[in-house]
Structure 1
Amino acid sequence: MRNIYIILLSFSLISVKGQVGINTTTPQKTLDVNGTLYVRQEIRTGGTSVVTGAPGAAGQLFGVQDGLSDTWKTVQIADGTGSLSLFYLNTTKDITGIQFIQTGTTGSYNLNSAFTTSPATPNWVYMEGTTDNFNVTKNDNLSKAVLSFQTTVQITRGAGQNWTTGSASYACGIFLSRNSGQFELKAVRNDVVKGVAGTYKIFNLNVTLDALQLGSYQVKAACTNRNLGTSGAGTLTTLGIGRAVDATTLNSNMSQSIMTTSVLQTY
């Protein structure tokens, strides 16, 4: 008789609205459990008084939807990413850009080299608006960051210059800092723009950084001048990267730079 009494007492907390509370006297839902839940077999959702709910399938996740019925969800992982899932996605833009009026340094660029501003070495200048921050929270050495940078490069001639065709070479790179350390070069491409005053072209740089370690990261795009062509009088061509230096063919909206950062981690 004592066992029967205990069972009846456990289900005695039924309100006038038909709400049942377990370990609570103020149930907020039809069934309100104040404690841990141990399910030995399956959870079914979406059922009615005449239809049995769905138990979900292998690999599905239980999704809670605001204002809608909770249900099972299939998580789609893009082919080629293996066991990685998208943890961060953001796009930044810079509308200020950079202008160079002097010849810089030509030559090669070394992976993981530090950011430098000296004219005697690559005269890097940041596209400050492209700065982005992300975190790697998995310590399995499998995380990746996919970075895509795009800008517009234009040449023009200054007052008094009379050249018909000018040219300029340049380079743009991606710099990365971990845990507030120094910024290091992780990817670079160089190119040349040549033509009449106002000539411009689109520049793209895409890179995937593998095996990122646990930590906080900051990423920036930067560009540098290499060799600016001269007119017959020895006057250098003006080079704009992410900036309109000749408004007759380009403006700030057209010349702006953008960078998209995607972070993939195991889930």
Structure 2
Amino acid sequence: MKNIISTLFLFSGLMLSAQIGINTDSPKAKLDVNGDANLRKKIMVSNTTDNTLSEGKNDQLLVSQGEGYAPIWKTLRIPEYEPNKFYLIFNNSFSDKNGIEFLTSEEPVMTTSKGATFTKGADISTLKGFKKIDGLSQTISVFSTESKAYFQFETVVQANFAGNGSPDTSIDYTCGIFVDNKLINMRQRNLKAINSQYPFLTHNQIGIVANLSKGDHTVSVACSRLASYGDTSKKLAIGKNTSTNINNFIAQSSLKVDVYEVPQVFNPIIN
């Protein structure tokens, strides 16, 4: 009888205590278990909206909402992947309406041939006369050592040429796609004066780079005015207008980025 009474007093003391510790003399919560806990039936969570109790569904996880908020049940979804196959992991597109422009005085003096200068992997700091299109400089993420990144750049190039005269008037220019300031793709073109004033053309190029290191990388687009012929006083604009026959909305630049990977890091999605 004494043992029963002592047990009842002990249980009553625990119920009246603000905190209960199991295998600890200094509990840090209302119930602090220092050791393994074996749950044989249910965990119920109170819904603060209607005060109902929820035990969750099969395969759901109990997720904290932070201090002062009750936890909630969430469904964990992990995409299924086939081994050694590439999947689209990163996809985004960017635009820029400010563009860049060049005067004849900004043409670089080429001391070597273009073929020797514009090589894959060249650092932008070694390429004279290049200007970046600011809005297209963006950060991309790579999660696998096996990847293929595709870059599609489109813009409009315009010069404020008058109607074509004699000799012919034209401008050579080039644009490059860079990853971490290293050249991965370049295209050179020539904009020529025609019978009508203020000619423009649409410039497209696609760059591909494989197996970037895991982590964040900066992709950027930069262009240069290379040479002028005939009337060399005219302005060249890339991604913006020089004359009112088009506007900056029409001339704006865009860059689309797709990164395909053989998955090595799985980022679960929680509903």
| The two structures share one fold, judged by TM-score above 0.5 | yes
Q: Match of 2:140?
A: 134
> Any idea what the Cα deviations from partners look like across 1:60-79, whole Å, max 9, x if unmatched?
xxxxxxxxxx8989888899
Q: Match of 1:199?
A: 199
CA distance in 1, matches of 2:80, 2:170: 45
Change (3 A) 1:73 1:98: farther
SS of residue matched to 1:191: strand
Identity of aligned residues (%): 19
Q: Match of 2:122?
A: 113
Q: CA deviation at 1:153?
A: 0.6
1:143 and 2:147 aligned: yes
Aligned positions of 1:74-89 closer than 5 A: 82-83=86-87, 85-86=89-90, 89=92
Normalising to structure 2: TM-score of the pair?
A: 0.58
Q: CA deviation at 1:166?
A: 3.1
Q: Give ranges in structure 2 of 5+ residues lacking alignment.
A: 1-32, 34-56, 60-72, 267-271
Q: Give 1 or 2 for the bigger CA radius of gyration.
A: 2
CA distance in 2, matches of 1:131, 1:224: 16
* Structure 1 residue corresponding to 2:171, chosen from 168, 171, 178: 168
Q: CA deviation at 1:237?
A: 3.9
SS of residue matched to 1:220: strand
Aligned positions of 1:1-267 closer than 5 A: 82-83=86-87, 85-86=89-90, 89-102=92-105, 103-104=107-108, 105=110, 107-108=114-115, 109-115=118-124, 116=126, 118=128, 123-136=129-142, 138=143, 140-157=144-161, 163-164=164-165, 166-177=169-180, 183-194=181-192, 195=194, 196-230=196-230, 234-247=231-244, 249-263=245-259, 264=261, 267=266
CA distance in 2, matches of 1:90, 1:78: 25
CA distance in 2, matches of 1:100, 1:133: 30
Q: CA deviation at 1:135?
A: 3.2
Change (3 A) 1:243 1:256: same
Q: Give ranges in structure 1 of 5+ residues lacking alignment.
A: 1-33, 35-53, 57-69, 178-182
SS of residue matched to 2:250: helix
1:228·1:239 contact (CA, 8 Å) conserved in 2? Answer: no
CA distance in 2, matches of 1:235, 1:85: 46
Q: CA deviation at 1:229?
A: 2.1
AA aligned to 2:119 is N
AA aligned to 2:238 is I
SS of residue matched to 2:240: coil
- What's the C-alpha RMSD, in Å, of the aligned pairs? 5.0
Aligned length, in residue pairs: 235
> Any idea what the Cα deviations from partners look like across 1:18-73, whole Å, max 9, x if unmatched?
xxxxxxxxxxxxxxxx9xxxxxxxxxxxxxxxxxxx979xxxxxxxxxxxxx8989
SS of residue matched to 1:212: coil
Q: Would you tell me which structure has more helix in proportion to its own residues?
A: 2
